Amino acid sequence: MNNKDFKALLGTELPIIQAPMAGVQDSKLAIAVAKVGGLGSIPCGMLSPAQVVDEIKRFRAATCAPLNLNFFCHELPPFDTQAQARWHELLAPYFDGLGIAADLGQGGASRMPFNHEIADAIEAFKPEVMSFHFGLPQEDLLKRVRSWGSKVISSATSVAEAEFLAMQGVDGIIVQGIEAGGHRGMFLSDDVNTQVELETLLTQIASRVDVALIAAGGIGDGHGVKAAMENGACAVQIGSAYLLCDEANTSSLHKAAIEHAAKTQGHTALTNIFSGRPARGLVNRAMTELGAMNPHAPAFPYAANLMAQLRKASEAIGMSDFSPLWCGANITACRKISAGEMTLTLMESVPHDHDNKYEYMSRSYADN
């Protein structure tokens, strides 16, 4: 059992972080989880600074509970027109099949790393927790975040990454097992063979670093939460289980694919074809035909440029053949209930002193 105090780290009543999930949720899900005592997260990796501010305001108006803002901190490589042209060659039959012409232009990068412009926009709100994916921001940015009093947490997918984050003085490490849905937070290696299951990774990291650990990947019920705590975590971060919840914005095609997979023993795989980085999602036509890990996928985030065009055209005719159907390996953890109910269900097997502060957490930040 990890003896780190999750309350000191997260400021919440429950040791549960609703995982930030870009593209499928906003402040609505974060508020619902925060109101029952978990840590609500707003994924900001695909939002403009103005959109981030709007989301924070919605959260603060609804609850005075702590807030986690999540950002990516990848290095943005220059746009590679040759790589894009090679990728287009492979995808051309699909553009023809859908009767659309490809736009090979750069467009805006779909995912921007955390930067000073965003820091300027959010500074006044002093988020209690800031979580990062794909490593950590540059030292000067990190310094700014710390000066607001925000706790800094980031994902590790290997012992080496956990040791790196510990050296940088993070307040908590999200130990992301290979079961996790969405993007792997890997930042020291791009070899997916270095990735292992949560139980193994947690045990290895717990014996090597003295930092609060948050377990992520495949956790979908109270037993999973309890097991993670017994293996060295002081809290858990759970994403996929919330995908079918009332307050998530998961598209109807994505929801249908999850429900179908759960009924038919469908499965997930790691794929780089939708963004350029490995991420776990339900296997669909694009992954099957292109190969889930395709060496020609342009670097993150530019693989998304062409795939997003195919996705848009195929979703318009009711197909998810080219959609990233992010989901963790534990597909049956997804349930059509409210996010509050899901959060409390996850706590079923873990002793805790939840003293039902719904009234307190329903007050807005300003009222406090």
22 or 212: CB nearest ligand FMN: 22
Task: For the CB of residue 97, give the shortest distance to ligand FMN in the complex, in Å.
Answer: 27
Q: Could you tell me which of 300, 241, 253 has the C-alpha nearest to residue 276?
A: 300
- Cβ count near 352 (within 10 Å): 12
Residue 163 near residue 75 (C-beta atoms within 8 A): no
Sign of the CA dihedral with 285 first, then 157, 122, and 113 last: negative
Alpha-carbon distance of 240 to 261, in angstroms, equals 13
2 or 237: CB nearest ligand FMN: 237
Give, in degrees to the nearest 5, the angle at Cα 305 between 25 and 257. 45
Task: For the CB of residue 180, give the shortest distance to ligand FMN in the complex, in Å.
Answer: 3
Closest residue to ligand FMN using C-beta atoms: 239
152 or 216: CB nearest ligand FMN: 216
Alpha-carbon distance of 204 to 113, in angstroms, equals 29
Task: For the CB of residue 6, give the shortest distance to ligand FMN in the complex, in Å.
Answer: 17
Alpha-carbon distance of 108 to 310, in angstroms, equals 17
32 or 84: CB nearest ligand FMN: 32
Task: For the CB of residue 259, give the shortest distance to ligand FMN in the complex, in Å.
Answer: 15
Q: Could you tell me which of 51, 39, 25 has the C-alpha nearest to residue 247?
A: 25
195 or 330: CB nearest ligand FMN: 330
Task: For the CB of residue 195, give the shortest distance to ligand FMN in the complex, in Å.
Answer: 12
Residue 283 near residue 268 (C-beta atoms within 8 A): yes
- Cβ count near 160 (within 10 Å): 14
84 or 311: CB nearest ligand FMN: 311
Alpha-carbon distance of 216 to 228, in angstroms, equals 9
Give first-to-last CA distance, the chain, whole Å.
34
Task: For the CB of residue 349, give the shortest distance to ligand FMN in the complex, in Å.
Answer: 17
Task: For the CB of residue 149, give the shortest distance to ligand FMN in the complex, in Å.
Answer: 21
Q: Angle at which helices 27-34 and 49-62 pack, to 10 degrees?
A: 30
21 or 118: CB nearest ligand FMN: 21
Strand partners, 122: none
Q: Which residues are near ligand FMN by CB under 6 A?
A: 19-22, 24, 43, 45, 70, 133, 176, 179-183, 216-219, 237-241, 326-328, 330
168 or 356: CB nearest ligand FMN: 168
Task: For the CB of residue 99, give the shortest distance to ligand FMN in the complex, in Å.
Answer: 29
Peptide bond between residue 351 and the one before it cis (omega within 30 degrees of 0): no
